[in-house]
Amino acid sequence: MRIALLGPFAGPSLAGEFSFAPALGPLPPGYPGAPLMTVLARALAERGHQVGAITTDYSTPIAKLEPFRAFAGADLKAYFCPQRPRSFRAAYGKRGRMLDFFRYERDCLRQAIADFAPDFIHAHWTYEFVWAALDSGVPMLATAHDSPLKVVRFTPNMYRLWRYFMARRVLARCRHLTAVSPDLQRDLRHLTPAPIAVVANPISNAILRAPGCVPQAFDSQTLMMVLNGWTELKNGATALQAFRLARAQVPQLKLECFGAGFEPVGEAQRWAVARGCAEGVEFRGPTPHAAIVERMRSCLALLHPSRWEACCMSIAEAMSVGLPVIAGRATDGVPWQLEDGRAGVLADVTDAAATAQAIIALSRDRARWQAISAAARVRARELFAVDSVAERYLKLYAAAMPVRPATRMAAAES
């Protein structure tokens, strides 16, 4: 089957997993971030399907991509469509992308779909990618990765408000839909007529089969935090306050912060220095995905203070290598991932003192740390194993395909 995957693909991630003709040159950057889309593409290709990876790129000048650039490989064909770099203001002679609900981007995505000519489309994130897939007329499945209302609630700005209305329109048209957690499934029920299946994000076999945390991980007394954005939603400020309180009782504790906004002399560090929360903290900023996963194997815990998640990849990856996670008891998606606290530590991440006590308790209890580490690895394999996720999706693809007349006749005769 020819399957088009629409969503945020990173060029370097695709190039690291698939072989492309050198004469085509390097792949465009695409979307930065965790390689979950590439992981799914690889799993489908390994099962003998012809896969098209279709994405957009806002960092490459529009003229270099318009309407798309295609890169053919042995197992996959990658398409990079242009995305206007600004939300509301004009650039490159084109108005902001939100003013027409990404119409230009959707037109380019549809042209890429037509060029690949798929039998089926699996589109991710209920915005421009799913909208373009719906307009293509090709049988499709949509996967939701966020709750539009909660995103705009935690990041209240005009862009997110318009994205909310965009998602409302898209979800109302969906007929086959999955969500990446039960909490997200619940949030979307009133927005769509489609039944919603729950399928978690996939983790690659390379991570799932890798060795777990090293024996010295507990003794390192080093926490790590992987957050993209110094925002109220990600709640990094409370986490830094909690670490300061915990370190006052356990002076050997250290914290390493990764992600946008946590660069040396970045927003988070400036805030921490001004409020006396920087001692024992190393601000690392954006870091290659492979380096983050490797670092997880030698730390005490992943501190993840986010106020809302759907199916957090950082948490899933930490669980996969057996790194205990300290995260929000009331944060959507998190108790489900952490099996209600059996595969991680649940705390009130809105309360610095409560979060500090969770850090202190774990740092002093080796037996509990070992039990959580083992349970997390088991839970990760139950939820995130890419082979199980891919097989589940293939069954959903088959259910969403229209029944051909010949098939109906054969079924009736039997």
Does some domain include residue 285? yes
- 372 plus 286 within the same structural domain: yes
- 59 plus 156 within the same structural domain: yes
Rg (CA), the chain: 22
Does some domain include residue 339? yes
- 191 plus 301 within the same structural domain: no
Domain with 32 in it: what CATH number? Answer: 3.40.50.2000
Of 149, 170, 202, the one marking the end of a domain is 202
Q: What is the pLDDT of residue 411?
A: 45
Burial (CB count within 10 angstroms: exposed 0-12, middle 13-18, buried 19+), residue 392: middle
- 195 plus 211 within the same structural domain: no
- 62 plus 74 within the same structural domain: yes
Q: What is the pLDDT of residue 34?
A: 73
Q: The domain containing residue 318 runs over which residues? A: 206-384
Does some domain include residue 390? no
| Residues pairing with 140 in the sheet | 121
Distance CA 231, CA 81 (A): 29
Of 167, 202, 237, the one marking the end of a domain is 202
Distance CA 98, CA 120 (A): 28
Does some domain include residue 20? yes
Q: Which DSSP state fits 48? A: T
Intervals of the chain under pLDDT 50: 407-414
Q: What is the pLDDT of residue 92?
A: 83
- 49 plus 196 within the same structural domain: yes
| Residues pairing with 164 in the sheet | none
- 196 plus 278 within the same structural domain: no
Q: What is the pLDDT of residue 412?
A: 43
SS3 204: coil
User: Nearest CA to 9 among 125, 111, 140, 170?
Assistant: 125
Distance CA 144, CA 153 (A): 17
Does some domain include residue 414? no
Q: What is the pLDDT of residue 283?
A: 98
pLDDT in tens, 156-207: 999 999 999 999 999 999 999 999 999 999 999 999 999 999 999 999 999 9
Q: Token pair for residue 118?
A: 């798929």
- 236 plus 167 within the same structural domain: no
Distance CA 189, CA 192 (A): 6
- 153 plus 213 within the same structural domain: no
Does some domain include residue 373? yes
- 157 plus 37 within the same structural domain: yes
> Would you say 6 and 121 are in contact if contact means Cβ atoms under 8 Å apart?
yes
Distance CA 268, CA 213 (A): 28
> Would you say 281 and 241 are in contact if contact means Cβ atoms under 8 Å apart?
no
Q: Token pair for residue 292?
A: 């983050």
- 122 plus 262 within the same structural domain: no
Instruction: Please state, as a whole number, how many other Cβ atoms lie within 10 Å of the Cβ of residue 370.
Output: 14
Cα dihedral 353/354/359/365 (nearest 10): 120
Cα dihedral 376/380/383/384 (nearest 10): 160
Q: Which DSSP state fits 26? A: P
Q: What is the pLDDT of residue 405?
A: 54
Q: What is the pLDDT of residue 124?
A: 98
pLDDT in tens, 363-394: 999 999 999 999 999 999 999 999 999 999 99
Q: What is the pLDDT of residue 414?
A: 46
Does some domain include residue 400? no
Q: pTM of the predicted model, to two decimals?
A: 0.94
Does some domain include residue 410? no
Domain count across the chain: 2
